[in-house]
Amino acid sequence: MYFKIGQKVVFLREQGHGVIKSINDSGRYVIEDENGFERVYLGRELAPVLAEEYSIDDLDISIIKQKSSTNRVNAVKKNKKIKQRKPENNWEIDLHIKESVVSSSDLPSAEILAAQLSALRKHVEKARSKSIPKIIVIHGVGEGILRYEVRKYLEKIGGMRYYDADFTEYGKGATAVEIDYNY
- pLDDT, residue 83, reads 46
Could you give the CA distance from residue 168 to residue 43 in angstroms, rounded to a whole number? 30
Q: Which residues are CB-contacts of 35 (< 8 A; sequence separation ≥ 6)?
A: 91, 126, 130
Could you give the CA distance from residue 144 to residue 101 in angstroms, rounded to a whole number? 19
Could you give the CA distance from residue 13 to residue 34 in angstroms, rounded to a whole number? 16
The amino acid occupying position 77 is: K
* DSSP bridge partners of 136: 92, 176
Domain boundaries 90-179, CATH class: alpha beta
- pLDDT, residue 136, reads 93
The greatest distance separating any two alpha carbons of the chain, rounded to the nearest whole angstrom, comes to: 59
Query: Do the beta carbons of residue 8 and residue 24 sit within 8 Å?
Result: no
- pLDDT, residue 63, reads 58
Q: With a threshold of 0.95, does the pTM exceed it?
A: no
Query: Do the beta carbons of residue 9 and residue 18 sit within 8 Å?
Result: yes
Query: Do the beta carbons of residue 161 and residue 118 sit within 8 Å?
Result: no
**DSSP assignment, residue 30?**
E
Tens of pLDDT, residue by residue, the chain (183 residues):
678 899 998 887 777 889 999 998 888 999 998 888 888 888 888 888 876 654 455 555 555 556 555 554 454 444 444 444 455 577 888 887 665 554 555 667 778 888 888 889 999 999 989 889 999 999 888 778 888 889 999 988 888 899 999 888 888 899 999 988 776
Residues of the chain with CATH 2.30.30: 8-48
For the domain 8-48, what is the CATH code? 2.30.30
Q: Burial letters for 33-47: b for 16+ Cβ neighbours within 10 Å, e otherwise?
A: beeebebbbeeebbe
